Amino acid sequence: LPQEFMAALPILETITNAGFEAYFVGGSVRDMLLGKAIHDVDIATSAYPSEIKALFEKTVDTGIEHGTVMILDHGNGYETTTFRTETGYTDFRRPDSVNFVRDLAEDLKRRDFTINALAMRANGEIVDLFNGLVDLDNHIIRAVGNPIERFHEDALRMMRALRFSAQLGFVIEKTTNEAIKAEAHLLTNIAVERINVELSKLMLGKAAAEGLMNFAQSGLFNYVPNIDMGRELDIVAAGLKLQGKTLPDEATAWTYLIDQLGLNEADAGRFLKAWKHSNDFIKQVKTAYHFIQLYRQQVEITNWELYQVGSVLPIALAVLKLNFSSFEGEEYMAALHNLAITNKRQLAIDGQQLIATGIVKPGPKMGEILGKIEHAVVIGQLKNHLSDLLAYAEMLQSKGE
């Protein structure tokens, strides 16, 4: 057993010694069997939350109404969830009620895909009620039970199918895939934030190319925030262009997506907002996208433009590289590194000093002068030395600028 499971064995033992059942479940079991790195060892148990809390010294109620308690042990946290069934999905996204049960099979039945419905005993034995091991071997994403019913219970599962397919490079089994196409419209019931998480993971997957094409061809793309309809072909093209390549991080992925959709800068901002990205994230992507636009419009890229794009430059360059096979971009990185400053705080003078010298009085004028100094230093017209900056400030003042 991998070390992550070894570390958690005493927890399983404590639960089983008290007369309950306990298993490792979900992603960690799947990833171990695939020989992949494990994150988050999750535990499923017949013990009720109150019984778990009585057995361990340190627990946190992370989702007690759903039966989840986190057990803290030697600096690790283990999400421990009571076997449960779910009933009544009137809103297509979550059960109206959950019921705690003592039977593992009931719990595995409610899980989304066969490869996610595996459980493992402390001795390494796998419980596989839905032929998840065969699907794992054959690289198949298959819904547990009737896919149409399962997507009606929780429509996010359709996006999860595409996401796992892209992450693992697995194919979605035929009836599962047909159910996604038939029920794609149910995605409108799901909060954008949750769709965003899945799309972001999809785009970072090793098979993101196929994932994006599937996103368009399944019809799911029609039920997510969009600037206007009929852009499936742009998404298919985004997938085609990505074939054999991967996207390095979320900001690059979303910049790539916007660029493929051909949005103007204002629409790009609205699109990211509609997808509920954070303001910080939107700023990064918009900055990178602005640089890409300058490049596409063959505007000369000055030091000032490089200064503006700053640390986000690698994102813009990565997206340009995907678009133009001969694009290297090294010269832009070199030019960025050669800038006299990369940040206003690196100026050899600040507002306080300008006031202390008596050259400028506090007020709006100050910001203006500092801005001009910043610009002159960045474009290389002025050395970033205290004496040069003071002389320049004095000159600006005397000219009444």
Which residues contribute to the site for ligand ATP (CB under 6 A)? 26-27, 40, 111-112, 116-117, 154, 156-157
We find the least distance from the C-beta atom of residue 240 to Mg ion, in angstroms, to be 31
154 or 259: whose CB is closer to ligand ATP?
A: 154
Please name the residues in contact with 396: beta carbons below 8 A apart, sequence gap of 6 or more: 369, 372
Q: Does 27 bind Mg ion (CB under 5 A)?
A: yes
Least distance (Å) from ligand ATP to the CB of residue 12? 17
Region near Mg ion per CB under 5 A, out of 26-34, 60-68, 247-255, 287-295: 26-34
Q: Indicate the residue among 156 and 393 with the shorter CB distance to ligand ATP.
A: 156
Token pair recorded at residue 218: 């399944």
Q: Which does 156 bind (CB under 5 to 8 A by kind): ligand ATP, Mg ion, none?
A: ligand ATP
Contacts 24+ apart (CB under 8 A), 85-90: 85/109, 85/110, 86/110, 86/153, 89/152, 89/153, 89/154
Compute the distance between CA of residue 176 and CA of residue 199 in angstroms, rounded to an integer: 18
* 141: β partners: 172
Taking the complex as a whole, the smallest distance from the CB of residue 27 to ligand ATP amounts, in Å, to 2
- In sequence order, what are the beta bridge partners of 72? 77
* Per-residue binder mask for Mg ion (CB under 5 A), 58-97, x = binder: ----------------------------------------
| Shortest Å distance, C-beta 133 to ligand ATP | 15
Amino acid at 154: D
Residues 198, 203, 205, 209, Cα dihedral to 10°: 130
225 binds Mg ion (CB under 5 A): no
Residue nearest to Mg ion (CB): 27
Binding-residue total with Mg ion (CB under 5 A): 2
Any residues with CB less than 8 A from the CB of 145 and at least 6 apart, and which?
109
Q: Which backbone phi and psi does 219 adopt, to 5 degrees?
A: 90, -10
Give whichever of 150 and 163 is closer to Mg ion, judged by the CB atom. Answer: 163
Distance in angstroms (rounded) separating the CA atoms of residues 320 and 63: 43
CB of 111 to ligand ATP, least distance (A): 4
Residue 112 or 173: the one with the smaller Cβ distance to ligand ATP is: 112
Residue 112 touches which of Mg ion, ligand ATP, none (Cβ within 5-8 Å per kind) = ligand ATP
Judged by CB under 5 A, the stretch of 35-43, 95-103, 165-173, 273-281 that binds Mg ion is: 35-43
Element containing residue 70 per DSSP (H, E):
strand 68-73
Spatial separation of the C-alpha atoms in residues 346 and 338, rounded to whole Å: 14
Task: State the residue for tokens 């629409």.
Answer: 267
Q: Considering beta carbons, is residue 40 or 96 the nearer one to ligand ATP?
A: 40
For residues 40 and 265, which CB has a smaller minimum distance to Mg ion in the complex? 40
DSSP assigned state of 143: B
User: 208-217 and 156-168 are packed helices; what angle lies between their axes, rounded to 10 degrees?
Assistant: 150
Which residue, 166 or 339, is less far from ligand ATP as judged by CB?
166
Q: Which of 13, 40, 61, 368 binds Mg ion (CB under 5 A)?
A: 40
In this structure, what token pair is assigned to residue 154? 């929780």
In the complex with Mg ion, the residue whose CB is nearer, 40 or 61, is: 40
Q: Which residues of this protein are in contact with Mg ion, per CB under 5 A?
A: 27, 40
